[in-house]
Structure 1
Amino acid sequence: MTEPRDPEPSSPDQPASDRELGTEQSPTSEPSPTSEPPLTSEPPLNRRAAREAAKLGAGDPLLGPDPDATQLLPQAEETTELIPRDDATQLFPAADATRLFPAADPTRLLPAADATQLIGSAAPPSTGGGDTGGTGIRSVIARHPRAWLFSTLAVVFVLLGTGAVFAGAAVGSSGTGSSAAPAAVSAPAPTKSVTPPRPTPSTPAAATALRTCSVSAQAAASGLGSFGGAVLNATTGEVLFDRNGSKGVAPASNMKSLTAATALAVLGPDYRFSTTVYAGTTPGSIVLVGGGDPTLSALPVGQESVYPGAPKLSDLAAQVNSAWEKLHPDLPISSVVLDASMWNTSDEWDPSWPVSERTIGYQPLITALMVDGDRANPRLATSPRSTHPIENAGAAFIAALGLPAGTPVSQGSTGASDVQLGQVKSQPVSALIGQMLPNSDNTIAEMLARVSSKVGGKDGSAASLAAFVPATIASSYQLDTAGLVVKDGSGESNQDGIPPLLLARFMAKASAGGQHLNVIYSALPVSGRTGTLATRFTGANAVARGAVTAKTGSIATAYTLGGIVHAVDGTPLAFGFFAEGKLSATAAMAAIDTLTTAVFRCGNNLSNN
């Protein structure tokens, strides 16, 4: 039986699939325009080959008919359909798409060499008896046609994917391969936005120091009761510590500092209180006119009262006797009129003052005429005061004149002529302040306040001080007096109020010494050295002795201290500390001293925390 012959070798230009498997075209390829190549004879097959050939002819019963190998490797026309020649130049910059594949024909997916080099020899087995070890690629493909089909397609997809990568790179590059490159579209020029310049401060903000020294524990001491306080740098004015600093608190004798400042602003440091005697309009009468000098002394020459250098009543009496003798040599003085009408004589005691202040000896009735501050013992600062200071002054004057004890004495504001018989003056206000502040003299303080009101155009009353003192402090020293409440000049009233910040700022001004405030600062007590601070700052607080210049304050419901701390680092710190409540005087003063000493140690590193 004659077996079908393999086709004769075709031209080298014919695809390897045609040369190997015959001229059957791929189902997707177009018919060849030439006639089918002639068949050639091939040697007969042995029995095994026959059986294999039968299998090839019938196909695998499980996998179905055997596809023609030409379906596994696409024909040239298929390749050109996948990558058309006309469009290939759009994918690659080169003019000829064959640059993607080394083969001469761009439709080739395999080199031009015989396909048998890639998949092995398909020559028929030997005609001798016995098996030669296989029937070639045909039998392999016959047994697994679909596996080979899918593998071949995978190879094709990989090659096509590689081409796509190069095509993308070419399209993204600025080549000239495309003959129809799209014209560049010019975008409209963006509108230039003008950004306004950022505002910058003409002067950079000063750096804020980080302060770490706290006195919070000392400020919370139970001995301070309801506490208010403030500390500031006396040089820069920067507030370093503030506890209720803007709230008015009873200042006790720290009110005397503002009273002194008022007197300096209104009266001036050289003003002197006067006590004058005029001839009366009634024959034989004289009028003693008080000018608010509490220091006028009944002590004889050579003896000093608590007010060193005070004018003597004896000196005034001598002037009067001499002048009267010249005017009325034949008419003796027969009556004395006491004129204390510089302010209303009934306005002599504030209802908020405890009566014990007078009976113990801290405060007299406030009248424009008195001697030795109406003390029972002029040599003692604390000495009981009377209920009739004007009469006491009259009696002392009659004795100084040498008149009989029963000489008629009256009080009034009329009956004086213009004839002055004699006058004595106190020491200047600057000296009086120097006597008032170290010893916290209430009597001088009240007289300074009342006389300042009278000379300043008010009526000299206690009520006038409420508006007069704040207005004077504000206008004269440019201080904010919000919260300042004034009931008196001494601070004896628990209804007075000074904000701690106001007191601290005032003390800073006083330490600077302008506007005669050096008079106040130089008169303030010094810790552990002078005045009411002489016995303070003991024990652990002794380290601050000599370093605190401040005014003390003490009434039954308030204990205060305000002034300047010369800190250990050299910084002057102005402060005002106020303890309010029903407190132990000893505990309150000790707590204030401890707090002040802590501030002394902190210096400009004092923190408000």
Structure 2
Amino acid sequence: MTKTRRRALLITGGALVYALLVGAAGVAGASTRSATPMPAPATASPSATATPTIEPRAVPAAPVGAARLRTCSVAGAASDGRLAEFQAMVVNASTGEVLYDRGGYQPSRTASVLKVLTSAAALSVLGPDYRLATTVVRGAEPGQVVLIGGGDPTLSRTPSGDESAYDGAPHLDDLAAQVRAAWNADPQTAGTPITSLVLDSSYFSGDTWEPSWNRKELYDGYMPEITALMVDGDRDNAYNNTSARSEDPVGRAGDAFASALGGGVAVSRGVAPQGAPQLGRVESQPVSTLVYQTLIVSDNTIAEALARVTAIQAGAGNSFGSLQQGITAGLAAYGLDTSQLRIADGSGLSPNNAVPPSYLTSLFIKVNNREGNLWAVFDGLPVSGRAGSLSYSDRFSGASSRADGAVHAKTGWIDDGYTLSGIVYAADGTPLTFAIYALGDVSDSAKQAIDALTAAFWDCGNNLSNL
């Protein structure tokens, strides 16, 4: 190759390299300058490629917080064979967190724990200051008066100033004195004797004995016939909480009032004439006190009276059949789901009642917070080792006594079940609401097994494991 041609090729190659270097420098310079948007073309080029659709990237959900590892187990106490068909639930009352659950959402018979629902419904519908009244009016015949029962089972035949089983109860002798004074003050009746007494118990209707109840409860002294007119809960012994009852509460009350009027009075049954002048009136203690009296020692009679009057005032009716509607109507005010509740009576004696433990733990959170008028329920609860049916010698004894004073709860017992539900103020300061059912083939020793498990809940507090 000639020198001239070799020089020409070198020049041409150098020029090409220079051009490439300049182009690269231009590109690099463009990438370091502030970007200035170029105007979009008025129309897309026919040869332009369509921009691909980019799906938005999925955003991961917020990470789930780590659950607390709770290590305090009550498995040993919960496996006690005396608990038989065992159900339970425990809830942290401050947070609402379920800490322990064994069949807690299954409705089952509650025994006397049902009195908590009856009391809560009565406080909602009637209010804490409502009183049950017994009145006397003039009858349709000359010399006649009518004694009208208003559902107060505490009305007493004992002398005024002499306390019966129900502290602060109204007395028949007071009512009779009012009647005699009004009778003698009226020119139409003054100077004439009272010769006839009519007993009006029509405020309640239907069966006086719930069909599922065991009749021995009457003879053993735990339950009377449920009538709107009775005295001393129809006890043979007006001073004893447990005392046999009669077959005719209305008749017993009528005989006692006839005697208080001075005797020589014919007694019959009937209904008071409309608009008859009132001659006397006595009233029970307020509902808040009646709630205390029914909860603290588990009084069946007051519970049934409260249930029936609550149903009447709720517009549900005045028989046992009205209690489902009446009690649930009262409970609706607390904002809890009542659809699983089955209410056969007001005392819990019927095996046909059904309440899930979860309902009780939720209601007791409200009791613990004294919502509405539920302070009266809290005040009436037995207390372990201190008050009411949890202070008896067979409750929270032995090792379970370590929880004395810490358990505020309602006891329950029927032939095929023992129950306990309420509030535990645990050793670590956590308020727990709980419900324990021991159902089926149980004996009296189930109470001790329930207490031992409750004391174990007290031990664990918020560290209670569900394992």
| TM interval, short-chain normalised | 0.7 to 0.9
Shift in Å, 1:505: 0.8
Aligned residue among 477, 481, 492 for 2:338 = 481
Q: Which residue matches 1:298?
A: 157
User: CA offset at residue 366 of structure 1?
Assistant: 0.2
Who is 2:370 aligned against? 513
Q: Does 1:336 align with 2:194?
A: no
Aligned to 1:450: 308
Shift of 1:198: 4.1
Of residues 514-523 and 216-225 in structure 1, the stretch that sits farther from structure 2 once superposed is: 216-225
| Pairing 1:364–2:221 present | no
Q: Of the candidates 249, 255, 259, which is equivalent to residue 395 of structure 1?
A: 255
| Pairing partner for 1:504 from 361, 370, 381 | 361
Aligned partners of 1:279 and 1:417 also within 8 Å: no
| Residues paired across the two proteins, number | 429
Alignment of structure 1 residues 291-440 onto 2, 5 Å? 291-327=150-186, 328-344=189-205, 346-404=206-264, 407-415=265-273, 417-440=275-298
Tell me if the contact between 1:256 and 1:489 (Cα under 8 Å) persists in the aligned partners. yes
Match of 2:348 in 1: 491
1:6-32 deviation per Cα after TM superposition (whole angstroms, max 9, x unaligned)? xxxxxxxxxxxxxxxxxxxxxxxxxxx
Instruction: Kindly provide the CA deviation profile for residues 41-62 of structure 1, in whole angstroms up to 9, marking residues without a partner as x.
Output: xxxxxxxxxxxxxxxxxxxxxx
Please tell me whether the aligned partners of residues 280 and 416 of structure 1 are also in contact (alpha carbons under 8 angstroms). no
Counterparts of 2:425 and 2:50, CA distance in 1: 68
Judged with a 3 Å threshold, the aligned counterparts in structure 2 of structure 1 residues 464 and 455 are, in CA distance, closer, same or farther, namely: same
Residue 597 of structure 1 corresponds to which residue in structure 2?
455
Q: What CA deviation, in whole Å up to 9, does each residue of 1:571-605 have, x standing for no partner?
A: 0000010010121112x111101111111111011
The one-letter code matched in structure 1 to 2:236 is A
CA deviation string 1:247-300 (max 9, x = no partner): 111100000000001100110000000000001121111000000000001101
Question: Which one-letter code corresponds to 1:389 in the other structure?
Answer: P
Q: Deviations over 1:121-142 (max 9, x none)?
A: xxxxxxxxxxxxxxxxxxxxxx
2:292·2:376 contact (CA, 8 Å) conserved in 1? yes
**Matches of 1:543 and 1:392 in 2, distance apart?**
46
Is the CA contact 1:363–1:385 (under 8 Å) kept in the aligned structure 2? yes
**1:524-552 deviation per Cα after TM superposition (whole angstroms, max 9, x unaligned):** 00001110000311111111111111000
Matches within 5 A, 1:106-125: none
Q: CA deviation at 1:468?
A: 2.5
Name the CA distance, whole Å, in 1 between partners of 2:155 and 2:373.
25
Distance 1:206 1:316 in 2: 67
Deviation at 1:411, TM superposition (A): 0.8
Q: 1:571 aligns with which of 412, 416, 430?
A: 430
- Which one has the largest radius of gyration? 1
Cα shift at 1:418: 2.2
1:522 to partner: Cα distance:
1.3
The answer to whether the 8 Å contact 2:315/2:326 transfers is: no
Contact 1:281 1:417 in 2 (8 A): no
Q: Is the 8 A contact 2:91 2:433 kept in 1?
A: yes
Superposition map of 1:31-46 within 5 A: none
Question: In 1, Cα distance between the equivalents of 2:309 and 2:421?
Answer: 25
1:254 aligns with 2:143: no
Q: Is residue 210 of structure 2 the alignment partner of residue 210 of structure 1?
A: no
Structure with larger RCO (C-alpha < 8 A, sep 6+)? 2
Equivalent AA in structure 2 for residue 504 of structure 1: T
- 2:86 alignment partner, one of 200, 209, 227: 227
> Higher mean Cα deviation, 324-333 or 441-450?
324-333
Task: Tell me if structure 2 keeps the 8 A contact 1:452–1:460.
Answer: no
CA contact (8 A) 1:256 1:490 kept: yes
Deviates more, 1:215-224 or 1:243-252: 215-224
Amino acid at match of 2:330: T
SS in 2 for 1:235: coil
Q: CA deviation at 1:460?
A: 1.4
Partner of 1:92: none
SS of the residue corresponding to residue 373 of structure 1 reads helix
Q: Aligned equivalents of 2:463 and 2:68: distance in 1?
A: 8
Indicate which of 523, 526, 529 corresponds to 2:383: 526
- Indicate the residue corresponding to 2:3 in structure 1: none
Q: Which runs of 5+ in 2 are unaligned?
A: 1-9, 11-15, 18-47
User: TM-score under structure 1 normalisation?
Assistant: 0.67
- 8 A Cα contact 1:527 1:537, kept in partner: yes
Instruction: Give the structure 2 partner of residue 103 of structure 1.
Output: none
- Give the aligned residue type for 2:409: A
The letter of the residue matching 1:342 is Y
Query: The residue matched to 1:552 in structure 2 has which SS?
Result: strand
Alignment-derived partner of residue 144 in structure 1: none
Change (3 A) 1:482 1:243: farther
Aligned with 2:160: secondary structure?
A: coil
| Structure 1 stretches lacking a partner, 5+ long | 1-94, 96-175, 178-187
In structure 2, the partner of 1:467 is 325
Give secondary structure in 2 for the equivalent of 1:379.
Answer: coil
Q: Is the 8 A contact 2:314 2:330 kept in 1?
A: no
1:580 is the counterpart of 2:439: yes
Which whole-Å CA distance do the structure 1 matches of 2:183 and 2:117 have between them?
Answer: 42
Question: Which aligned pairs between 1:70-109 and structure 2 lie closer than 5 A?
Answer: none
Kindly report the root-mean-square deviation, in angstroms, between the aligned alpha carbons of the 2 structures: 2.7
1:378: how far off? 0.7
Q: Give the match for residue 281 of structure 1.
A: 140
Output the CA distance in 2 between the equivalents of 1:272 and 1:206: 52
Say if 1:287 and 1:416, in contact at 8 Å, map to a contact too.
no
Identify which of 129, 136, 141 aligns with 1:270: 129
Q: Which amino acid aligns with 2:287?
A: V
Give a deviation string over 1:449-508, Cα, whole Å, max 9, x none.
0011111112211111123222331x2111122321110000001111110111111111
| Residue 103 (structure 2) aligned to one of 211, 227, 244 | 244
TM-superposed CA distance for 1:330, in Å, is 2.5
Query: In the TM superposition, what whole-angstrom CA distance separates every residue of 1:353-390 from its partner, at most 9, and x where no partner exists?
Result: 11110001000000000000000001100000000110
Structure 2 Cα separation of the partners of residues 603 and 491 of structure 1: 29
